[in-house]
Amino acid sequence: MADDHDKKLYEQAKRRVQFKESLLGFILANVICWAIYFLTDKSGSWWPLWVTFGTGIFLVGSFIHASSLYSVDNEYERLKKRQK
């Protein structure tokens, strides 16, 4: 049982690290794009908004995956409680 618990904790830690990596990628990509935009000609469209939007969608997905909101264990416990 302890091994099973350790495996679950390891998987949760792995998902959290992946989210932190996604957050870092979001920040770096957006800082670079917005810096390029503000340091160059700004007469065009606000194209970095597309980068922010796209990377933001990916970041939200990473957060949902990393959180325990939609974990198999939570769903299993919810179904067990419903049967009682």
pLDDT tens digits along 47-68: 999 999 999 999 999 998 888 7
In b/e form, how buried is each residue of 31-58, taking b as 16+ CB within 10 angstroms? eebeeebeeeeeeeeeebeebbeebeee
Q: Which two tokens stand for residue 17?
A: 């690290």
In the chain, pLDDT over 90 holds for what percent of residues? 48
Q: What is the pTM of this model?
A: 0.76
- In the prediction, which pLDDT does 2 show? 62
Please, which pLDDT band fits residue 22 given cuts at 50, 70 and 90?
Answer: very high
**For the purposes of burial, counting CB atoms within 10 Å of the CB of 29, is it exposed (0-12), middle (13-18) or buried (19 or more)?**
middle
What are the sequence ranges of the domains in the chain?
A: 2-83
Q: Between residues 19 and 79, which one has the greater pLDDT?
A: 19
Q: How many angstroms from the chain centroid is the CA of residue 55?
A: 10
